[in-house]
Structure 1
Amino acid sequence: MAAPALAFALLAQGGLAAVVGMLVLAMHYPRTAYLGHDVAHSQWGPRGEMKARLKLRLIALAQGFGSTWWVEKHELHHAFPNACRVEEDGSLTPIDGDIDSPPWLVWDKSLAPYNDKARRAGLGRALSFFLPRFQVPLFFPILSVARFNWSWQSIEVAAKNKQWWEASLCVAHWVSGFALAGLLTPGPAWTGWLWFLGAQLLGGFILAFVFVLNHTGMEVYDAKESKGFYDRQARATRNTPSSPLLDWLTGGLNSQIEHHMFPSLSRRRLTKMREATRAAMEECGYAYVTLSNREAMRAVLSTLGEAAWA
């Protein structure tokens, strides 16, 4: 709650202070998302307790998207990362919602038939003319608008599930943000609105960038062919380097393998589990993949490039 207050106070000063304020607000979004992630995984105690529910409501207000939509999708992701089911026509349909974003992106060439179906009507039909071939150069701009999509889905799902508090708080994030930005900016109101949108775009990009390094470019597979929980995690999950700065910047998600193995373990303990987890997985015959950030991003872009021409 303190970070947005500081950001808007800096906006009111104008000039360089406003730019710093936008950066503060942009960094606030992934930080708050990591906190929501930790609370939803019961790292701060059972998420059904009043304390956790209150935190998730505050995060919905500060973040613009809530836990009703996110938790169900995310728990399915943890159980079946990158997993799909095979349809009668032989095409793969994602079980893991994190690799399901038609009509915007084809995350893996094996999902091209699935995306083709999604692009036969509505917005997908209009986008089908240029998105499939240009998704690599468009990838980073698309990451930047991810927050808007997450927020819309959060509001829609919360309303359908009659979670009125959550839906209202997500809407209040946008209403109060634009209102305060327009009122506090020293210039015309539209400069404050652009400031607020800029923070949203940068914050969404940072968060989405961290996410794609963990699973994108790893195997996409038929869930029936997997040999259980640990096999699914090893097939589809990678770590990236650990350091005090990287652990902070990624919210501990750079130790993604350990997070998938021990989802209720607090983020500050994940790096301490790396060596023991690696040894146990290799002893049991599972892969333990660690790539540098550059290698991981190269794998992501290579996979997206192959999918674009599938």
Structure 2
Amino acid sequence: MRAWAREKGYYNVPLWERALRCLELVAAPTLAFLLLAQGGFAAALGALILGLHYPRTAYLGHDVAHNQWGPRGETKARIMLRLVSLAQGFGSTWWIEKHELHHAFPNACRVEADGTRTPIDGDIDSPPWLVWDKSLAQYNAKARQKGLGRALSFVLPRFQVPLFFPILSVARFNWSWQSIDVALTKEQWIEAALCAAHWILGFALAGLLAPGAAWTGWLWFLAAQLIGGFILAFVFVLNHTGMEVYDASETKGFYDRQARSTRNTPSSPFLDWLTGGLNSQIEHHMFPSLSRRSLTKMRKLTKAAMEECGYAYVTLGNREAMRAVLVTLGEAAFA
């Protein structure tokens, strides 16, 4: 199927699409800050545009990191990833290593000698904040025995469902901090500086351009961050949360791991745009370097091939997928 998709050109990102993505990278924040300067309804619209810009920029970095624009070690790809670090506030050094492990072992755990399931996939490893599955309750309980976890242990274990959406909204701040920390640890000074510059320049411009007091511009910038973090995290949780969390040693290989843990959500021109193609999550995991524009073209064939080989191919509507997510989080909260 990969060979057939290459012959069809599904792995190619045409020049016009690359130009459009680059234009969007610059035009969206420029328009957002210009609208801020107008105040009132225009400023509110600008915050929404900037909030939408952040997941859109993350999708661009995701495409480049998956070699969709050519090998990510080449100069063009490295420049794009640095521009994304500036526009996004989090960088590729932390994210790529974490994300490649997620692709290899989505929702996977290893079982320790005492029977505790420890996540291999970093996307389900977020103590003390969330328990993503009831099978991880023991792991998270250990993490909440010291430091910040001890303080949060009185609130989060029973209230993670009502707190879930607020936690999603602040996800960008956590991702940015981790990006800067890892970049500094690995001596990626330019990347760390670009991630920090995102916040410094953003707050400075918002304070200068706000028609009122500077603090109103700072609140505007924070509101855009919360919108962007919520959209991006919301898209992510629909893909794997509520699917099986399993012992990696008991699976039958790569395709089995993907089928156990990955679901699709509906496709439409708007949903494909809003999610950056990640609503075709199964196809993305099977063909990670495939152009996002071509993912939906592979749905029918992928489903037929997986079912022929005895694998599940799970598709849920957005509402049903979110219900599955919340039910799973609720079960985990009381485990």
Q: TM-score range by the shorter chain?
A: over 0.9
RMSD over aligned CA atoms reads 0.4
Deviation string for 1:212-257 (max 9, x for gaps)? 0000000000000000000000000000001111101100000000
Tell me the secondary structure at the aligned position of residue 8 of structure 1: helix
Deviation string for 1:53-97 (max 9, x for gaps)? 000000000000000000000000000000000001001000000
Q: Counterpart in 2 of 1:143? A: 168
Deviation string for 1:101-123 (max 9, x for gaps)? 10000000000000001101110
Q: Select the residue among 145, 151, 161 that pairs with 1:126.
A: 151
List aligned pairs for 1:149-188, cutoff 5 A.
149-188=174-213
Q: Distance in 2 between matches of 1:304 and 1:257?
A: 22
Q: Select the residue among 268, 277, 295 that pairs with 1:243.
A: 268
Q: Counterpart in 1 of 2:78? A: 53
Matched, 1:73 2:85: no
Tell me the secondary structure at the aligned position of residue 85 of structure 1: strand
4+ aligned runs moved over 6 Å, structure 1: none
Q: Select the residue among 1, 11, 32 that pairs with 2:57.
A: 32
Q: Counterpart in 2 of 1:270? A: 295
| 1:70 aligned partner, one-letter code | W
Q: Counterpart in 1 of 2:27? A: 2
Q: Distance in 2 between matches of 1:281 and 1:3?
A: 39
Q: Counterpart in 1 of 2:8? A: none
Q: Counterpart in 2 of 1:89? A: 114
Q: Counterpart in 1 of 2:137? A: 112
Deviation string for 1:138-176 (max 9, x for gaps)? 000000000000000000000000000000000000000
Q: Distance in 1 between matches of 2:75 and 2:101?
A: 24
TM-score by length of 1: 1.00
Q: Distance in 2 between matches of 1:91 and 1:280?
A: 35
Q: Distance in 2 between matches of 1:229 and 1:267?
A: 21
Q: Counterpart in 1 of 2:251? A: 226
Tell me the secondary structure at the aligned position of residue 136 of structure 1: coil
Gaps of 5+ in 2: 1-25
Matched, 1:290 2:331: no
Query: How many residues are treated as equivalent by the alignment?
Result: 310
Q: Distance in 2 between matches of 1:20 and 1:298?
A: 30
Give 1:2 deviation, angstroms: 1.5
Q: Distance in 2 between matches of 1:126 and 1:289?
A: 38
Q: Distance in 1 between matches of 2:219 and 2:273?
A: 28
Q: Distance in 2 between matches of 1:201 and 1:36?
A: 19
Q: Distance in 2 between matches of 1:245 and 1:10?
A: 24
Q: Distance in 2 between matches of 1:294 and 1:183?
A: 41
| 1:35 aligned partner, one-letter code | L
Q: Distance in 1 between matches of 2:155 and 2:178?
A: 25
| 1:14 aligned partner, one-letter code | G
| 2:54 aligned partner, one-letter code | Y
Q: Counterpart in 1 of 2:11? A: none
Tell me the secondary structure at the aligned position of residue 37 of structure 2: helix
Q: Counterpart in 2 of 1:19? A: 44
| 2:41 aligned partner, one-letter code | L
Tell me the secondary structure at the aligned position of residue 88 of structure 1: coil
Deviation string for 1:247-272 (max 9, x for gaps)? 01100000000000000000010000
Q: Distance in 1 between matches of 2:131 and 2:64?
A: 31
Give 1:308 deviation, angstroms: 0.2
Q: Distance in 1 between matches of 2:130 and 2:31?
A: 36
Give 1:26 deviation, angstroms: 0.3
Q: Distance in 2 between matches of 1:107 and 1:192?
A: 35
Q: Distance in 1 between matches of 2:285 and 2:223?
A: 32
Q: Distance in 1 between matches of 2:54 and 2:227?
A: 9
Q: Name the % identity.
A: 84
Q: Select the residue among 214, 217, 226 that pairs with 1:192.
A: 217
Q: Distance in 1 between matches of 2:202 and 2:112?
A: 44
Q: Distance in 2 between matches of 1:293 and 1:186?
A: 39
